[in-house]
Amino acid sequence: MLKTKHTSKIALLLLMGTVLGICVLMMRLSEMVQSPTLDGFVQSTPQRIEISAIVVEKQIRQIAENEGFEWPDYLVRLARCESKLDPNVRGDSGHSRGLFQIHELYWPSVSDECAFSVECSTKWTMDMINAGYQHYWSCDKIVKNI
């Protein structure tokens, strides 16, 4: 390697760039961490939602692949339509829960723990779809027309 008086400056600049990159990554990751507010709900930043949606989509696809589910694209579109790929969301005046908006009054056997879990709710939804119950989701017709 050619050594010059600028070699140490170049090395320092490269090190600073690496440290800066790590700091930006750490900040992005910290935005993904959910921070409870005083009223008990989680506030989301656009960056957290965007990063989380990518991660959640990959998780859904992986679960579908592991389970041999035939329609992973439909499953992702359904979750995107129902919850914008946010596993913590509540809808229908708080009665529908999680990625697939599992309604607690219609499906009381599904615990909150399962409804808000990416893995459990995805597996439950795949079972329902495989049993022919996809029409129970309000987004079914929308998703099929995409």
State the 10-residue block means of pLDDT for the chain, 146 residues long.
Answer: 57 52 48 42 52 92 98 97 95 95 97 96 98 95 88
Could you give the count of Cα atoms lying within 13 Å of 91 in the half-sphere of its Cβ? 16
Per-residue confidence (pLDDT) for residue 43, from 0 to 100: 46
pLDDT for position 10 = 60
At 11 the pLDDT is 57
Across the beta sheet with 102-103, what order do the strands follow? 90-91, 96-97, 102-103
pLDDT for residue 106: 95
pLDDT at 39: 40
Q: For residue 141, how far is the Cα from the chain centroid?
A: 22
pLDDT at 38 (0 to 100): 38
> How much is the pLDDT for 6?
57
Question: Pick from 40, 142, 25, 138: which is nearest to 88 by CA?
Answer: 40
Nearest to 134 by CA among 84, 82, 67, 57: 82
pLDDT of residue 25: 45
The CA distance from 85 to 101, in Å, is 10
The C-alpha atoms of residue 64 and residue 28 are separated, in whole angstroms, by 27
* Dist. CA 116–CA 34, nearest whole Å: 14
Report the pLDDT value the prediction gives residue 29, as an integer from 0 to 100: 46
